[in-house]
Amino acid sequence: MASHSQSLLLLLRFVLFFSLLSLSFAGGVDVTLDDDSSPKSPSCDNPFNLVKVVQWVDGAEGESLVGVNARFGALLPSNADKDLRLPAVFSNPLNGCTSSSSKLSGQIALSIRGDCDFTKKAEVAQAGGAAALLVINDKEDLYKMVCAENETALNISIPVVMISKSGGEALNKTMASGKRVELLLYSPKRPIVDFSVIFLWMMAVGTLACASLWSEFTAPERTDERYNELSPKESGAAKDDSEKEILDISAKGAVIFVIVASTFLVLLYFFMSSWFIWVLIVLFCIGGIEGMHNCIVSLILSKCRNCGKKSVDLPLFGEVSVLSLVVLFLCAAFAIFWAANRRASYSWIGQDVLGICLMITVLQIARLPNIKVATVLLCCAFVYDIFWVFISPVIFHESVMIAVARGDNSGGEAIPMLLRIPRIFDPWGGYDMIGFGDILFPGLLVSFAFRYDKANKKGLTNGYFLWLVIGYGFGLFLTYLGLYLMDGHGQPALLYLVPCTLGVTVVLGLIRGELKRLWNYGTEESPSSVSSGEP
């Protein structure tokens, strides 16, 4: 009965981890705007650019709003020092469709959307002497203001910008309180490459390599010892129960996982809300605490075997190592601190630490037995990633994976199943990020390659591990190259990573005449789908 309970617990942990890791996406979270094919004419052919609307309240600089310029009117400078700071005033009437009784001369006019064409609002504001026009949308998105097909001879020479409903409400609240509000409009250019992507590349490749080599880091003097030494309850000669906590993925299980991951992703898409994200945050913290606990304890015990000998007897839990208990409390405090400050500018550090520890732990628990299963899993993941990023817009009218990664309808909360790093030199801010799945899927194959090389006493150059790490790094480079060539549109990273890892394995196996052995490896030693711990 105990063995059945342990197997069920292991299966539940496996499902929990991989439910959290169904997001497989590389790209950025930021403010983006795509151009479109709306009607153009010589006087109505501006590109759509994002606009910073910087506020000064009673002479003190306040928060910046984000807007988008219209297809018509003057373009804004890219540098803030090339434009003037001008007072803001609401048009009267607010719709800006008729001459304003408010003085607009030399000021930035504000009007609400509706009741007449955008070009009409701009002409009225310009006639009143306004230096620019801000149109407040009736929704939170940034609507693209275009010209009608018959408007081919416009004479609008002032900038026209749309801001969101919440931005307009914030301005109205400030101005209604009697404070003087001045605005500065400019449209900074985004750098072609931000150095943050280099650090993210290093983080992803380092996590994958570290997870594969973890057993070497934590048990250098015993090649057959498993890394996970959570709560020593017996003497050092006793059998390590963690040896049983290994789950080899079967071909059938690989297919089922992709189906479950797709279902989970659709649920996220349709039921995304702040409370749903909170459920994910709690699950992420639980997984992150266990992962961080495993990593810290195993590292300490690899250097100090006697550190885990002292234990205490706790109700319900029995005899527990003092070291394990102390580390658990510290990890829980770290996760709680991150969750409480998850919106702070530095919260990405805690998220990345918890995520990396979680992925290292998952790659110690879940393993691929051979290349046959790896091929099934990675090919299914390859199709899964492409479908939910590129093909899902045909069915859902937008990319499901990108919508979930952005946290649409989440009340400002963010999905935690990502490694992310802030963009350093981007004036629009945002984050470069990569989904856990884009590290774990290839990581399972790289971990198998390391175990295979070790079991067959292969060196770095004549083995598979080194070449797969290089292949993964190159595939991730291609991912971000594709990201920039497609103007920041999120990329299905497995589109590049699977050929650069699984493809490298197959090619090397064919060249070396080892493909058949790789394909069927471990079938004689472990005929069942759940391994007893042997590679």
Catalytic residue positions, numbered = 385, 438
279 contacts: CB under 8 Å, gap ≥ 6 = none
* Residue 227 structure tokens: 């890394």
Amino acid, res. 507: V
Please spell the DSSP secondary structure of 430-473, one letter per residue.
Answer: -EEEEETHHHHHHHHHHHHHHHHHHHTT--TTTSSHHHHHHHHH
* Residue 222 structure tokens: 């015993």
Residue 501 contacts residue 472 (beta carbons within 8 Å) = yes
d(CA 465, CA 448): 8
d(CA 21, CA 444): 13
Please spell the DSSP secondary structure of 263-296, one letter per residue.
Answer: HHHHHHHHH--HHHHHHHHHHHHHHHHHHHHHHH
Residue 468 contacts residue 505 (beta carbons within 8 Å) = yes
Residue 172 contacts residue 90 (beta carbons within 8 Å) = yes
* Residue 506 structure tokens: 């197959």
Amino acid, res. 56: W
Within 10 angstroms of residue 1's Cβ, the number of other Cβ atoms is: 5
Q: How far is the CA of 235 from the CAs of 305, 309, 465, in angstroms?
A: 11, 8, 35
Nearest alpha carbon to residue 335 among 403, 284, 274, 386: 284
